[in-house]
Amino acid sequence: MNMSRRFGQAFLLLMVFMVLFPLLWTLLNAFKQNVDILTRAPKFIFTPVLDNMIFVLSRQSVLQALVNSLIICLVSVVVGVVLGLPAAYAIARYPNRITDELQFFVLSLRFLPPVAVAIPLMVIWLNLGLYDTRLAMIVTYSLLTISITIWLSVPGFQQVPKEIEEAARVDGCGVYAVFFRIALPVAARTLLGAVAFSFVLIWNEFLIALMLTTSDARTLPIVASEMSQLGMDVPWGILNAAVILLSIPPLLLLGLLSSFMNSVFSRKKK
Amino acid sequence: MAGIICKHINKKYGELEVVEDFSLEVADQEFIVFLGPSGCGKSTILRMLAGLEDITGGDLLIGGQRMNDAEPGDRGIAMVFQNYALYPHMTIRENIAFGLRRQKTPESEIDQRVGAVTKTLGLKPYLGRKPTALSGGQQQRVAIARAMIKTPDVFLFDEPLSNLDAKLRAHMRVEIARLHKELRTTSVYVTHDQMEAMTLADRIVLLNAGRIEQIGTPEEIYSAPRTLFVAGFIGTPAMNFLTLRPRRTETGWQLCGDSFQLAISGSAFDLHEGQQVIMGLRPSRLRPVDAGFSGPSVQGEVSLTEFHGDSVLASFSLDGVDLGSLMPAEERPREGANLTFGFAEEDIHLFDAGSGISLRC
């Protein structure tokens, strides 16, 4: 093994450490008492306690927020898929001036600072009497998921060779059959990435949720952040436990997706 | 099985006319090849037959029915694409059976037909694999199987062999010819390879810039090209061309170059005094001759010889134009040798220099 290779590996290890260590530290702190956290020398060996986890999970607000987050995220991701994928397909397959403009418009929505979107939306939902409801959050988030899904799926559909779709038309497929039987499965890899990305983005969304919810429709990030305001002392252990719990659903989703993606990517060789 | 009739079909992209006034009748069971340089509109015409491209004007009849606006799946056609266009997410078996499944064919019949087709094409061992696990030749065979299994009225081939290497191409060409002999399905085959066209076609449609240059059997196209373009396009090595002026003599006609004259009877051609003509002559018909040769001949110094295996192509210059003479390899001349090259009058082709149309009457 030569020097540059060794150096490269050492560099990669360092990067991995930089990314993973804070996460590991958070995980450890979630099982520490405050006295173990607030020491001068960091403690790696301690008696683990479940108090923080129990505290977080036993709070009604956390469970409700978890349910809220799951419902709001899943529904808006599904809406994004149902409306965004066909739109992306149309943009990729039938490009014209309008679709070019549309694609840029969709992206430009993402340029806007979230506050600029959140305040008008707050007024709208208040006037409609839907403020602080799951429905309002779902509709708001669907705007995001649709635009992300469109933006990330267009290249996926563009990569599907045109001849394959033409072969399907000769084989007797109409436009819808071509979309569902050919374009969707062939582009599935890229599309899955787009869907996973939009889920993670919505799951972690904080600013819009902060402005559009007060109690009933609060999502997990909001509730987790509120834990830092519990008392005079910052409850580090509880905060860490909340972060860990918050990270579990996206990790599970990515885990499922990655194993699925692996199976799609790997070619069967005999 | 069905014939195809194209009546004054044209195709415009906006103002740009890529195919103008294409008329053709393809008989049932006939193997037609569209031949031409890239960009001549041959693929566009094929895609209009398939329904993948709208027809701007004219009528298309397949099996006697007007098909201008029919969906590709309803035209009774099957198509083989240049890059195979197999469905990458399906196994070979699913690829081949896809069309039948769309037609709601019973599963037992699908099994039986897939079995028959894969046996013909030697694809049995690969049925469970994905297309990416197959070589180019095997993939193209799958594409042909996918087309065959539908027992279509018409086969459309869009440059099916262009992506294969030379050896495999020759092999698949023979296979396609053999399949056509067995199935006798009307076929339209697009290629830019004249070898494929010559060997496969019952009739060749030679296209240039969206127009038909000539329709005919391979023999007709080769031995009696209707235009200068056809003459130049068909045949390897390419035909020799000389620009000449005809002059009437007592015994017939004299074709005059700057430094030589060729005496011919001219009876087979429509010649006029003062006209400019282009004479075409295949290299294989221009041979070194002895001094006693009585027919038309030219003198030249061999500047280059190319060894082709059985034969040798000797090049020489005449009036600033390079000419080639193809001769058996054992007669290979020395480079720099001064030779007399002769030919027979019936081997020459004369074209009007302005219009490029053959002057043969």
User: pLDDT digits over B297-308, tens only?
Assistant: 999 999 999 999
One domain for residues B45 and B166: yes
One domain for residues A209 and A236: no
At B89 the three-state DSSP class reads coil
**Predicted model pTM:** 0.81
One domain for residues A192 and A86: yes
User: pLDDT digits over B230-269, tens only?
Assistant: 999 999 899 999 999 999 998 889 999 988 999 999 888 9
Residue B185's contacts (CB-CB under 8 Å, 6 or more residues apart) are: B1, B29, B151, B152, B153, B154, B155
At residue A269, the pLDDT reads 38
C-alpha angle B120-B126-B130 in degrees, rounded to nearest 5: 130
Q: Which residue of B has its CA nearest to A171?
A: B99
Cis peptide before B237 (omega within 30 of 0): yes
> Which has the minimum average pLDDT: A218-232, B128-142, B169-183, B296-310?
A218-232
One domain for residues B185 and B309: no
User: pLDDT digits over A59-104, tens only?
Assistant: 888 888 989 999 999 999 999 999 999 999 999 998 888 888 888 8
One domain for residues B342 and B213: no
At residue A49, the pLDDT reads 85
Nearest residue, CB atoms, A169 vs list B73, B89, B146: B73
One domain for residues B123 and B258: no
Count of other CB atoms within 10 angstroms of residue B230: 26
Residue B358 forms part of a structural domain: no
One domain for residues A197 and A143: yes
* Domain hosting residue A46, numbered range: 23-58+230-265
CATH number for the domain spanning A111: value is 1.10.3720.10
Give the closest-approach CA distance of A147 to chain B in angstroms.
27
* Domain hosting residue B296, numbered range: 240-352
One domain for residues A85 and A190: yes
At residue B106, the pLDDT reads 93
One domain for residues A89 and A180: yes
Q: What is the mean pLDDT of residues B301-319?
A: 93
Task: For chain A, say whether B77 makes contact (Cβ under 8 Å).
Answer: yes
One domain for residues A119 and A206: yes
One domain for residues A111 and A78: yes
One domain for residues A196 and A236: no
Residue A6 forms part of a structural domain: no
C-alpha angle B176-B177-B178 in degrees, rounded to nearest 5: 90
Residue B254 burial (CB < 10 Å; 0-12/13-18/19+)?
middle
Radius of gyration in angstroms for the set of CA atoms belonging to chain A, rounded to a whole number: 23
Q: A29 or A179, which is more confident?
A: A179
ipTM of the complex in this document: 0.84
C-alpha angle B52-A96-A167 in degrees, rounded to nearest 5: 25
Residue A223 forms part of a structural domain: no
Strand partners, B24: B6
8 Å CB contact of A170 and B132: no
CA distance B204 to B325: 27
Interface test with A, best of B13, B53, B71 (most A CBs within 10 A): B71
In chain B, what residues touch A172 (CB-CB under 8 Å)?
A: 71-74, 99, 102-103
Residue A124's contacts (CB-CB under 8 Å, 6 or more residues apart) are: none
Confidence of residue A270 (pLDDT cuts 50, 70, 90): very low
Q: Is residue B2 pLDDT above 70, yes or no?
A: yes
Amino acid at the residue B331: E
One domain for residues B160 and B20: yes
User: pLDDT digits over B15-66, tens only?
Assistant: 899 998 999 999 999 999 999 998 899 999 999 999 999 999 999 999 999 9
